[in-house]
Amino acid sequence: MNDYAPEPQIIILDTGGQYTHLISRKVRELGVYAEVRPSETPASEMANAKGVIVSGGPSSVYEPGSPTMDPALLRSGIAVLGICYGQQLMAYLLDGQVRKGDKGEYGIAHLDIQVQAPIFAGVENHRQVWMSHRDTVFAPPSGYQVLASTSTCAVAAIGNVAARKYAVQFHPEVVHTHEGRKVLHNFLFDICGCSRDWEPASRVPVVENSIREVAGRRNVFFFVSGGVDSTVAYTLCLKALGDERAHGAYVDTGLMREGETEFVRTIFASLGAKNFHVVDARADFLGALRDVTEPERKRHIIGEKFVEIQQRILESGHYLDGDWILGQGTIYPDTIESGGTAKADLIKTHHNRVAGIQKLIDENRIVEPLTQFYKDEVREIGRELGLPPEFLERHPFPGPGLAIRCLCQEADAPLVPTSLGHIAPVHSVGVQGDSRSYRPVLIVDHLDHAKATEAINTDMRVNRVIGVIGSNAPVASLTVFQSAITEERMDRLRRVDAIVRKLSHESGYDRSVWQFPVVLISLGAGAQRDSVVLRPIDSVDGMTAQSVPIPPALHAAMAAQLLAVEGIAAVFQDLTHKPPGTIEWE
C-alpha cells in the first residue's frame, strides 16, 4: 500500500488493457480509492479489499502465456467484476466457452438487458455501450446467467448474483458507455458496500509530504513545458521545498507552438519562480531529427535528446552531485500507453519513459508527484493550489511537441483509389483491440463520422479516416511526397496551428473540445507539398476520445485561411474516434 493513500477498497487486476488505469480513475471519481495490481496477485493478498475489478487486455485467454488470475478469487467471498478480457478470463477459468467471434466489435453498440440483476439496477435498456474485442464468451460457466446482449454479441454480460460475481464484455469505464458510471456505482456501493474516502484536492498536503520524503535533503531540478501537468508538478515542488530548492528550466526545442516560449516566460514569472530559465536547444533537436520518418524513432530521439540536454544543463549548473534529483509531471496515461502496466501492448513511446529517463528512475533520482492522477484530477489539484486559469484551461500538448504532428515520408507515392475513397500511404498509429496498429489513412469526400467508423471496420488496411474540408487541387490528383522535419515545415506547421487556435478561440469552439491537434502531412500537388489535418476531439482523460464535428461556418473560415498559407494544398478533418485511432497521429 502507498503510505500516502488510504487502504484500497477496490483492487483492479491488470491484464494489460489500455484502460486499466482509467477503471481506477473512474472508481476514484466516485469517491472510492482504488489501486492497480498485477493480475496474478494471490487472492490472499486481496482479502481486505471490498471488491476486485479485472481489466480488459489485448490477449486471448486460451493462448499460452496469456494473463491470468488466481482462481481462488472466484471462489472467495469478495465481489468481482470482470471487464472485456476480464469477462472472458472469468468464464474461461470457470469452464465456460470462450473463442474468437465471427467478427470483432469495436466502438458503439447498444445493450439489451435480459435479467434485472443488481449490477444493472436503474440502468435503462438499449443504452449505448463501448466495445473493443475480438474474442467473446459463447457459453457462460455453470452458475452464471447471461444478463445482457448486443446485436453482435450474444453474451455481453454474465453474473452469479448469489456469489456477487459479475462480468461485462463492454467497457463501463469509458465515457462513451452512457450508463457506465451507474454500472460502476452499483458495483461499488450496492454490491461491494464501499464507502467514500477519496478526493483529489485533499491529497495536496499528502503529495507535498511525498515530495519532501522522496527528495530528502536533495534539491529538485525541474524541466517544464508550460503545460498543465509539468506546471502543477513544479508548483507542488515549489510549495513543498521552496524556490531555493526547486529550480526549473524550459527547453526550447524548436518543436513548440508559435509564441510558446514567451508565454512560458510570462507565466513562470507570475508564479514567482526565481530559479527558472529558458534554454535554446532548437539546433540540437532539429539536427537530430533530420531525415527521420518513423514515429517511434522520432519519439526515442526526442526523449534521448531531452536527456542529453538535461545532462548538459545539470553539468553546467553543478547539479550532478548527490544534492539534486530530477522532477517530472508524469501522469497515469503517460505510463499506461507506454506499456507501463505489466502486460500492456505498446501503443507509442512517451518521451519521459525512454531508456535515459528510466535510468534516472532506477537510480532513485526522480520525483514524479502526479503519477497517481489523471488530467482532470491534476486540474483539480491546480485549482486547489491557486494556479491561474491560463494554466489549467490549456488543451493538452504532447511532450515531443509538433515533431509528432509533422509527418514525414520516405518516398513519393500515389493515392490508391477504392470504393470508399482514396487510401493515402501516410501511416499513423492506432489502437485496435488494445493492440498497436500502424496503417495508412483513408480520404473520403464527406464529414460523416458514422460512415467513417463503418469504413474503418470495413477496410482493415486503414486505421484512420479523414474528410475533405477544402483543397487547392482535386483530391485524386494529390500525391504523397518524400519529406522530413525541416525548419521550413516546422514554421509552416506553427503558422497553421496558430491560425486554427486563433479561430477556435474567437468562435468559442475551443471550449467545446478537449484537445485540437493540427497535423501536417506531406500530401499535395506541384509546389504545394503539404496538407493540414484538423483533429478536434472530446475526452475526459485521453484514454478514449470522440472526433467532434466542426461547425460549417468555422471550418469554411479555417479552410480559407489555411489554404492561403504558402505550401498548403488541402485541408482535412480527422473523423476517427479513439479507438481505433490514437489522439495523436504518431
Active site residues: 84, 171, 173
Report the 3 state secondary structure along 517-537. Answer: CEEEECEEECCECEEEEECCE
CA distance 77 to 71: 13
C-beta of residue 370 within 8 angstroms of C-beta of residue 232: yes
Residue 371 identity: T
Across the chain, how many H-helices and E-strands are there? 16, 26
CA distance 418 to 197: 55
Q: Which residue has the cell 491484464?
A: 15
CA distance 43 to 71: 8
Straight-line distance from the first to the last Cα atom of the chain, in angstroms, rounded to the nearest whole number: 35
- If one counts every other C-beta atom within 10 angstroms of the C-beta of residue 319, the result is 18
36 phi, psi to nearest 5 deg: -95, 135
Handedness of CA 200, 201, 207, 209 (dihedral sign): negative
Q: Using only C-alpha atoms, what is the Rg of the chain?
A: 24
Judged by DSSP in three states, 317 sits in coil
Q: Which residue has the cell 475551443?
A: 510
CA distance 441 to 20: 28
C-beta of residue 111 within 8 angstroms of C-beta of residue 558: no
C-beta of residue 179 within 8 angstroms of C-beta of residue 124: yes
C-beta of residue 303 within 8 angstroms of C-beta of residue 199: no
225 phi, psi to nearest 5 deg: -110, -15
Residue 148 identity: A
Which residues lie across from 139 on neighbouring strands? 97
C-beta of residue 134 within 8 angstroms of C-beta of residue 102: no
- If one counts every other C-beta atom within 10 angstroms of the C-beta of residue 423, the result is 18
C-beta of residue 178 within 8 angstroms of C-beta of residue 204: no
120 phi, psi to nearest 5 deg: -110, 20
C-beta of residue 163 within 8 angstroms of C-beta of residue 151: no
72-82: b or e for each residue (b if 16 or more CB lie within 10 Å)? Answer: ebbebebbbbb
Closest CA to 91 of 112, 113, 68: 68
C-alpha cell at 314: 545539470
